[in-house]
A and B are shown apart, each in its own frame.
Chain A
Amino acid sequence: MKTLFRRAALAGVAAFLPAFAQAATDVRIMWYSDGNEGEVARDLLNRFEAANPDIKVVLDNVPYKMIMETLPQLVSSGQAPDMARVTDLGGQADQYLDIGPLVKDRAYWEKNYATTLPWLRPAGNTTGIFGVMTGITTTMPIVNETLFQQAGIPLPGPKATWQEWAVAAKAVAQKTGVAIPIAIDRSGHRVSGPAISMGAKYFDGENPALVDDGLKTMTKLIYDWHRDGTMSKQIWGSVGGTAYRGANEEFANGQVVLYFSGVWQFPQFAKTIGDAFDWHGVPNPCGPAACSGMPGGAALVGYKSSKHPAEVARVMDYMASEPVMAEYLARTLFLSPHAGIAAKGVAYDAKTPQLKKSLEAAQANLLALSPTAFRLQGYLRNRIMFNALIVRLNQAIAGEMSLDEAWTRMTSDVADGMKAAGVR
């Protein structure tokens, strides 16, 4: 009887063994979306899972705020997911997993992602592969052309300055009764492109140096525009601290003449505005130094704490492969971080003339970005500068301090932030 029982138990265990042997490794990705990126990524990853039954990719769709605030805590406490889609590229670069030794074809990565690989490297590392950009973005203006037509005012040309755009937008707003001539996202990143156009350098040699004449010129313009009504306090004045505030709802409701944001707004505007009015992206306004926005974008990174580095590298190899990346970009309407795809051109799934025109303008803007903008984007501690810029400028706009005081505070905030971060 005892033998019989033992045999039955062994048979039972044996029956389950294939199931255990077949059990897939879970690779968990913390993912946020501006538009349809999560949906597209899931679709692509379903195909990856079908071809790789030993890996199951769990895509945790979370709000952007969680990526910015909760994820760093998880990473610091050793509880990071295997992978995440992040925008603070350098913030926790020292925790990223170097998949360089694990990827199938290192040369492919180095050839096609040469521009953006350094953005993800921790300080002092010049060779590692720490992730893949899931599309490049550029900040740029989006205009409501219908309002220009209604006002009988022509759109300023490709080399128009910020001041010329401001005069035109204000005139359009006055003639059409629209409340907001210019809206700029309340974000240090967004302000930095125009500031670079005005000559801001952001660095003094190797050291971060936020405040110079170029930055002063642009921040003074924004300050003055809030005083004379070119910019509405509705956007910057309605929040404080480092909080982000966009004007996408106001733009979609036809209340903004020129909205300075970025390419990531295109898909949602195509959806929310449709053809209710004629909107599209335009070339970045110029300053004496450049006609620049800021590059940016989100990256898919792996974390050192992952228990499945090989599987992470396989997922990364798949997402970075040319056909997959090309399809992802075409469907999500991001600019290409992949040199090969960029050279061939992305076959965007742009169904409306507004989208097509906007994407063409975005490609042109990307090529016109200042090298300073790329350097700033790749700088690990850029957010310290962005936060100081936005908090202090906002205080000056709110009347809590003069612009001179704001610039002094920006400098000391950056120094304090760098010191706290251990940057000498």
Chain B
Amino acid sequence: MSTLGRLIDAPFEALQRRLGAARMPYVFVAPNLLVFGIFVAAPMILNVWYAVTGGTQLMPAERPFVGASNFGELLDCDQFGVIASCRQDRFWRAVANTAWFVPFQVIGLVAVSLVTALILNRRMAWRGFFRAVFFYPVLLSPVVVALIWKWVLQPDGVLNALIVAGGGARVPFLLDPSWAFSWTVVISIWAHMGFYTLILLAGLQAIPADLYEAAEMDGTPHARVFWRITLPLLMPNMVVVLVLGLIRAVQSFDEIFVLTGGGPGTATQYIVQYIYETAFANQTHILGLAAAASILVGGVLMVLTMLQLAATAWSKR
């Protein structure tokens, strides 16, 4: 054993003699649990406390208990489905925007990532280079992503310059609600697809090559190979991509906030921006309302994820 190994072993051997072998696993997971506890579990518990307390005080002990009134305020609508009738109409607008954004973004993301992974899995020149290119946006800071696209999409941006040079009229890409919404979907897919492509690529490479060889010998059409071999064997990875993509889509905030600030109007204001603005950006920091909104979103996410996992398990039967 090397000197370094002995140095590391010594304190652990001493600890094991003191605690016993059965307790040693707890020693090894303790640092991770500590980090998890401080940065994940404690804020979650704190969030629940904020959700059931009122006022604008930051310190938990100074906040008066109000029970479920923050939830009541969020859900207070004269007529569900009519946003204008809700007391917190901006919350419901954000919910509605998110409910539109998520399916478009997730389906688009999975489709684009799958096609890209299928292409990058083929034997082709410069394959390594292209894999790096598609992964590159993932490495960029969300703020950088937003600024790049702002330069492209603003009224005197690159895209409009090309349109005008081609004889067309400027398009209000970020000023028209429909355009702005569509671009947030596109940019979000562009920024994150590299990561999901990588997951799917790993899945594709794990599919045994002899299955494809057998299909080729049988003269199976490409489409049938895809539907009968590739897709079923890729399904575990697809589920991972779907679940992660769904969670990420609901959490969308940073690049969109920098790109549009939620505008025009509230056309691209998604739920996390509502939570952020309610808690931090206004003069009165209504932390209780923001915490209640985040718990509601967390609950919906949990239900969606469980439904997705259940559907996948059911499809395997």
B is a partner of A: yes
A positions within 8 Å CB-CB of B: 68-69, 72-73, 76-77, 88, 91, 179, 233-234, 237-243, 245, 381, 383-384, 387, 391, 394-395, 397-401, 405, 409, 412, 417, 420-422
Choice from A238, A240, A384, A395 contacting B283 with Cβ under 8 Å: A384
Q: Could you list 6 A-B pairs, sorted by A, with CB under 8 Å?
A: A238-B154, A238-B175, A240-B262, A394-B264, A400-B267, A422-B56
Q: Is the CB of A400 within 8 A of B55?
A: no
Name the distance in Å between B265's Cβ and chain A's nearest Cβ.
Answer: 3
Q: How far is the CA of A383 from the CA of B175 in the complex (A)?
A: 26
Chain B residues with CB under 8 Å of A72's CB are: 285
Chain A residues with CB under 8 Å of B261's CB are: 238-241, 243, 245
Query: Smallest CB-CB separation from A70: which chain B residue?
Result: B280
Q: Is the CB of B263 within 8 A of A420?
A: no
Known: A91-B283, A239-B262, A383-B283. 4 other contacts (CB 8 A): A237-B175, A238-B260, A240-B266, A243-B261
Q: How far is the CA of A398 from the CA of B267 in the complex (A)?
A: 9
Choice from A88, A240, A391, A420 contacting B268 with Cβ under 8 Å: A240
Name the distance in Å between A201's Cβ and chain B's nearest Cβ.
Answer: 21
Q: Is the CB of B283 within 8 A of A88?
A: yes
Q: How far is the CA of A91 from the CA of B273 in the complex (A)?
A: 22
Q: Is the CB of A242 within 8 A of B84?
A: no
Q: Is the CB of A420 within 8 A of B56?
A: yes
Chain A residues with CB under 8 Å of B273's CB are: 241
Chain B residues with CB under 8 Å of A409's CB are: 89
Q: Is the CB of B282 within 8 A of A242?
A: yes
B interface, how many residues as a size bin? 35 or more
Q: How many A-B residue pairs have CB under 8 A?
A: 106
* B137 contacts the other chain (CB 8 A): no
Q: Is the CB of B284 within 8 A of A421?
A: yes
Q: Is the CB of B175 within 8 A of A240?
A: no
Chain A residues with CB under 8 Å of B174's CB are: 238
Chain B residues with CB under 8 Å of A417's CB are: 282-284
Q: Is the CB of B262 within 8 A of A241?
A: yes
Chain B residues with CB under 8 Å of A91's CB are: 283
**3 closest residue pairs by CB, A with B:** A398-B265, A240-B262, A239-B261
Q: Is the CB of B262 within 8 A of A381?
A: no
Chain A residues with CB under 8 Å of B90's CB are: 391
Name which of B55, B154, B263, B267 has the most chain A CB atoms within 10 A of its CB: B263
Q: How far is the CA of A238 from the CA of B150 in the complex (A)?
A: 10
- Given known A-B contacts A76-B57, A234-B155, A241 and B277 have beta carbons under 8 A apart: yes
Choice from B263, B269, B282 contacting A238 with Cβ under 8 Å: B263
Q: How far is the CA of A111 from the CA of B43 in the complex (A)?
A: 49
Q: Is the CB of B284 within 8 A of A241?
A: no
* B108 contacts the other chain (CB 8 A): no
Q: Is the CB of B281 within 8 A of A242?
A: yes
- Given known A-B contacts A387-B282, A405-B84, A237 and B277 have beta carbons under 8 A apart: no
Chain B residues with CB under 8 Å of A395's CB are: 265-266
Q: Is the CB of A234 within 8 A of B280?
A: no
Query: Smallest CB-CB separation from A77: which chain B residue?
Result: B58
Q: Is the CB of A400 within 8 A of B281?
A: no
* B203 contacts the other chain (CB 8 A): no
